[in-house]
A and B are shown apart, each in its own frame.
Chain A
Amino acid sequence: MIELLDIVILGMMVVAALAVLWLRDLFAVAMLSGAYSLMGATLYVLLDAVDVAFTEAAVGAGIATVLMLGTLTLVPRQEKQGKKPSLAGLFTVAATGSLLIWATLDMPEYGDPDAPIHHHVAPRYMKDSTAEVGPPNVVTSVLASYRGYDTLGETTVIFTAAIGVMALLARGRRKP
């Protein structure tokens, strides 16, 4: 059974997403995307993903918003008016959305303990991680040990992105 809070937060997220699409003031859009991210973080707490929630609150709602606002000091704050709605885009989105919803009909229901995802490697992580790795937080054990190569790849991506940002911005600025 899905809780009321879950429905309310998801509803608020939909409103925020549509407002992002609708508004032309990019400052409001940046703040809304921060709020959207924070609502996402609240939802993760409800869904027992506390580690993800605080990462999202710090990185998604915090750093991403700061980066957006920093960019908006350098570029115009208003989006250009009068672009007509894209019919092809609307069609693509409607078609993709209905296909995805059709695909979810095969998915296990919310909170179903018999779902296949809960019977593969996860029980082993829960049972053996204390003996094999140590930390009581299983997410930490999986992140740092069982799936350590993922984390290594992640740091490689961040390193590459940091080099990219520096190469783009630190280079001598051209005169406008």
Chain B
Amino acid sequence: MEVPGLFNYWMAIILMMAGLYTVIARGNLVKKLVGLGVFQISVFVLYITMGKIKDGTAPILPAGPVDGVVFSNPLPHVLILTAIVVGIATTALGLALVVRIHEAFGTIEEDDIQDIEENEA
């Protein structure tokens, strides 16, 4: 069976939408952050797929001659390395906020927090 050449992009988009829907539809703040992580990794998959060259190998130059060796594109790898680290920084900040929100409101469910806010106003 021949798989279409755009298959990886489509799967990345399905993963992206699963993450986006988790962020939109779930009220639990930890769940929202996990959904954001799912979204993030799907974007990484999209980028890394673009860098792949058929029959290529990792972009590490051997000591000998390199004639005829195909290397995959290193540029998306660099961008995604940066993105992974930035992603963990935002996740850590988000989780710290969740902890403080739980201390202030006693809940991490979005609609409960909204109810408490309305009752206070």
Q: Chain A: residues with CB nearer than 8 A to chain B?
A: 1-2, 6-7, 10-11, 13-14, 17-18, 20-21, 26, 29-30, 33, 36-37, 40, 43-44, 47-52, 55-56, 59-60, 63-64, 67-68, 70-72, 74-76, 79-80, 83, 85-86, 89-90, 92-94, 96-97, 100-101, 104-105, 107, 109-113, 115, 117-118, 121-122, 125-126, 129-130, 136-139, 142-143, 147, 150-151, 153-154, 157-158, 160-162, 164-165, 168-169, 173-174, 176
Contacts and interface: CB of A to CB of B under 8 A. Distances in A.
A75 B102 contact: yes
A129 B21 CA distance: 42
A93 B89 contact: no
B12 to A, nearest CB: 8
Contact of B74 (A92, A130, A139): A139
A21 B26 contact: yes
A101 B108 CA distance: 34
29 contacts: A2-B8, A7-B3, A10-B8, A10-B11, A10-B45, A20-B31, A26-B28, A47-B51, A47-B72, A48-B72, A50-B60, A51-B77, A56-B44, A60-B84, A72-B30, A80-B109, A89-B24, A93-B20, A97-B14, A110-B5, A110-B52, A125-B75, A126-B61, A136-B61, A142-B78, A158-B86, A161-B89, A165-B93, A169-B100
A46 to B, nearest CB: 9
A103 B5 CA distance: 14
B79 to A, nearest CB: 8
A122 B14 contact: no
Contact of A113 (B30, B38, B53, B62): B53
A76 B31 CA distance: 12
Contacts of A72: 30
